[in-house]
Amino acid sequence: MVTPPKTNAMAKVAMATMCVSISCSALADAFPEKKGCEVINHTNYEQFLEKRSDVKVMNPFKPETCVLLDYNSDYKNKLSVDDFNGNKEILSYFESFQERSRTRVEMVMDYENKQLYTLLQFNTKEASVRGFKKLASGKDIAVFMDEFLFLHEMTHFEPSITLNKGYSMAKREMMSDITALIMLKSKHDLSMSEFFELTSSVFELRKEEHKLVLRQERNDKRRKQSGDHYHYDEDLAKNIEKFLSFIKDNGIDMRVTSLNEAKEVAMHMMHNYQGSEMIDLAKKTMTIKNDPYRQAFFSMQPGEQMVYYENNKALMSGELLAMFEDFNTLLPADQEKLDHVSPEIIQDASQFFNPEIKDVAQQYLATVNYGNDIQMTASVSIDPSINLNAENNQEKVQVNASGLRR
């Protein structure tokens, strides 16, 4: 049985939160060069919720971006079209977003002005959240429920996951679940045994929820037509369970110090990277290398780089996606790193990007005289379960937006 945290104000208080993450070049008056933009991390995120005051924090996945937290459920951000670089469609979308009181994250890309707007609304009083919490009653995760949900939503601030159309809805949601669980372990200093129990309870909860969703779809064709609402995938769950069995059998412990690190561990679990260089069997630890191993990738020779990419495709595809999202504002040092990546890798990774970012990657390849007819020089395995064209047929609206529900 997982021991309840000594202090967990969020388990007692239902929060209603609106967060708006906007590129710092937009809303310059609100965020002048991130002045007053506070750091939110694994040691202090609860404080921002408990004090319930309007603050600005840095997006943990995109430090150059500020996030506005508002705790007044009746508050409406009064922004004008000037705050969105003159884009009336983005303003209209934002105003419509505020009218809905639901827990979810949505990202809207203004391609003309090269701005990414991330919207987070966190409302634990909505019907679906109340139903989810009722379903969790009696399970280990129940004692951390509001905190778990908030961390889950925070993970959706990572564009390389949220905007990655190569990921199914279930994969993105399970990634957020695992990242949140890893954060809970480190925040509350849970034992590995407690972590395993907590993970098992979330899997059990998601299975039950999945059955209910499937039942609703059978009884309501309109819901099925509205999109994929799955938060659970049996094959991905088996991967995670195999990885957890591996670290359990080998007595591996793990600690993280940020959402980014938690995301890296979650990636390894999702893809069952038991042979990862992050795992030290001798020391019985799992060390998050972050920048060092990424820097090594960008300095490798083409052959080594390809092998590393094949073994860490999920991680490096996400890294390249993030670079092409920010392609027009890359610093010279980052541009040099990108120029060193084998064109075969960029061509393969771009298959997992959404159409707009894929176009940016293809234009980049064309400008460096590689063209679009690059032939792979090494064997690169593609996940056959990924439907690369699934998102291409979605209905086009005035603005391109990606959204994730709880």
End-to-end CA distance of the chain: 25
Q: Which amino acid is at 184?
A: L
- pLDDT level of residue 190 (50, 70, 90 thresholds): very high
Please report the DSSP string for 337-352 in residue order. Answer: HHHTS-HHHHHHHGGG
Q: What is the structure's pLDDT at 246?
A: 92
Q: Are 48 and 57 in contact (CB under 8 A)?
A: yes
- Work out the percent of the chain whose per-residue pLDDT is above 70: 70
pLDDT at 404: 59
Tally the C-alpha atoms within 13 A of residue 150's C-alpha that lie toward its C-beta: 28
Mean predicted lDDT score pLDDT of the chain: 75
Say how far apart CA 327 and CA 103 lie, in whole Å. 31
In 206-346, beta strands by DSSP E = 253-254, 279-280, 285-286
- What's the pLDDT band for 210 if we cut at 50, 70, 90? confident
> What pLDDT was estimated at residue 2?
72
For 207-241, the DSSP string reads: HHHHHHHHHHHHH-HHHHHT-------HHHHHHHH
Please, which pLDDT band fits residue 9 given cuts at 50, 70 and 90?
very low
Higher pLDDT, 399 or 342: 342
**Which pLDDT score is estimated for 33?**
45
Residue 385 confidence (pLDDT) above 60 = no
Specify whether the CB–CB gap between 209 and 149 falls below 8 A.
Answer: no
The answer on pLDDT for 12 being more than 60 is no
Domain boundaries, the chain: 16-123, 125-288, 292-380
> 367-374: long-range contacts at Cβ-Cβ below 8 A with a sequence spacing of 24 or more?
368/339, 368/343, 370/343, 374/343, 374/344, 374/347
CA dist 269 → 263, 310, 314, 331, 382 (Å): 10, 16, 11, 32, 18
* 380 token code pair: 């690169």
Average pLDDT for 278-287: 83
Residue 86 φ/ψ, nearest 5 degrees? 80, 5
Higher per-residue pLDDT: 18 or 93: 93
| Upper half-sphere CA count for residue 237 (Cβ side, 13 Å) | 16
Of the two residues 406 and 82, the one the predictor is more confident about is 82
Q: Is-contact 61 259, C-beta < 8 A?
A: yes
Residue 98 has pLDDT above 80, yes or no: no
Residue 391: pLDDT over 60: no
Average pLDDT over residues 147-160: 88
Most confidently modeled range among 91-105, 117-131, 178-192: 178-192
E strands in 42-193: 55-59, 62-70, 104-110, 115-123
- The pLDDT assigned to 91 comes to 82
- Taking only the tens place, the pLDDT of each residue in 46-81 is 877 666 555 667 778 877 776 666 555 555 556 678
Question: Per mean pLDDT, which range of 127-136, 228-237, 261-270 is the poorest?
Answer: 228-237
Sign of the Cα torsion 131, 137, 141, 144 reads: positive
Q: Widest CA span of the chain, in angstroms? A: 60
Tokens 């990606």 found at: 402
Question: What's 32's DSSP letter?
Answer: G
Q: Considering only residues 257 and 73, tell me which one the structure prediction assigns the higher pLDDT.
A: 257
Confidence bin at 227 (pLDDT 50/70/90)? very low
CB 159 within 8 A of CB 62: yes
